[in-house]
Amino acid sequence: EAGVAQSPRYKIIEKRQSVAFWCNPISGHATLYWYQQILGQGPKLLIQFQNNGVVDDSQLPKDRFSAERLKGVDSTLKIQPAKLEDSAVYLCASSLGYRLGQGLDTQYFGPGTRLTVL
Amino acid sequence: DAKTTQPTSMDCAEGRAANLPCNHSTISGNEYVYWYRQIHSQGPQYIIHGLKNNETNEMASLIITEDRKSSTLILPHATLRDTAVYYCIVRVGTSGTYKYIFGTGTRLKVLA
């Protein structure tokens, strides 16, 4: 089966500009996650969707970051305006999200988008 | 905050077993341990998970102590392609709201 797709793979922008990232999860996966990974650190969850509803956005800097998942499939993450500290890899992941049993809700990650803010 | 602690880095000779430890002393009774690895410039890749029994798949084995406060990921015959950052994660939440809290992982270098 196809994996999680993300685009673009790389993006360079200047501070105060806007940027958007796109994610297409694995077919049939109800739950979608966006993570931010700063160099040398583990991924940090920004927002989690169950179908098209937000489950957790407690770590999302809402003054500049926004995300949507229209129709419960694809998702976009936007930063407006970007700051230097937003330079990171943005990872999208998806999982089935159903009550299959406690151990089966494995997350599968896309390749990420590397953002550089100058 | 991450619920796991791991050594920052480890080396392993090619062909030998790589044993990666993880402490998760505050784990709750229904929380699973997941292991992922991240090869440079790629997204994290799922390896294995477990609750309290030891688990094995085609990639690795997971040994969980009886008190569940620590675990070890075993790569039985490490190859150069196993060089990566390995993350031990305790999955928190409930069905539909599960989430991973990543730590900084262990950087494994497999030496020729």
Residues A49-69 have pLDDT tens digits of: 988 899 999 999 999 999 999
The mean per-residue pLDDT over the stretch A24-49 comes to: 94
- The alpha-carbon gap from A81 to the nearest alpha carbon of chain B, in Å, equals 25
**Structure confidence by residue, pLDDT tens digits, A68-107:** 998 889 999 999 999 999 999 999 999 887 655 555 678 9
- Indicate which of A102, A108, A114 best probes the interface with B, i.e. most B CBs within 10 Å of its own CB: A102
DSSP result, A48-66: EEETTEEEE-TTS-TTTEE
Is residue A1 predicted with pLDDT exceeding 70? no
What φ, ψ does residue A59 adopt, rounded to 5°? -100, 5
- pLDDT at residue A19, as a whole number: 98
Mean pLDDT of chain A: 92
Mean pLDDT of chain B: 92
How much is the CA Rg of chain B, to the nearest whole Å?
A: 13
Contacts 24+ apart (CB under 8 A), A5-12: A5/A110, A6/A90, A6/A91, A6/A92, A6/A110, A6/A111, A6/A112, A6/A113, A7/A113, A8/A113, A9/A111, A9/A112, A9/A113, A9/A114, A10/A113, A10/A114, A10/A116, A11/A113, A11/A114, A11/A115, A11/A116, A12/A115, A12/A116, A12/A118
Q: Are strands B106-111 and B9-13 parallel, antiparallel or unpaired?
A: parallel
Mean pLDDT in residue range A36-46 = 94
Q: How far is it, in rounded angstroms, from Cα B49 to Cα B32?
A: 7
CB contact under 8 A, A110 and B103: no
End-to-end alpha-carbon separation of chain B, Å? Answer: 36
- State mean pLDDT over A20-26: 97
pLDDT at B36: 97
Residue in B4, B5, B49, B98 to test binding to A, most A beta-carbons within 10 Å: B98
Tell me what pLDDT residue A99 has.
56
Q: Is the pLDDT of residue B82 over 90?
A: yes
Distances (CA, A) of A11 to A47, A75, A115: 21, 18, 5
Token digits of residue B5? 């602690």
Tell me if A4 sits within 8 A of A109, measured CB to CB. yes
* End-to-end Cα, chain A, rounded Å: 37
Residues 6+ apart with CB under 8 A from B94: none
A56–B contact, CB cutoff 8 A: yes
In single-letter form, the type of residue at position B82 comes to D
**Is A91 within 8 Å of B104 when comparing Cβ atoms?**
no
What's the angle, vertex CA A46, arms to CA A43 and CA A48, rounded to 5?
Answer: 110
Chain B residues closer than 8 Å to A57 by CB: none
Q: Would you state the pLDDT for residue A79?
A: 98
Average pLDDT over residues A1-22: 95
What residue has token string 């070890």?
Answer: B72
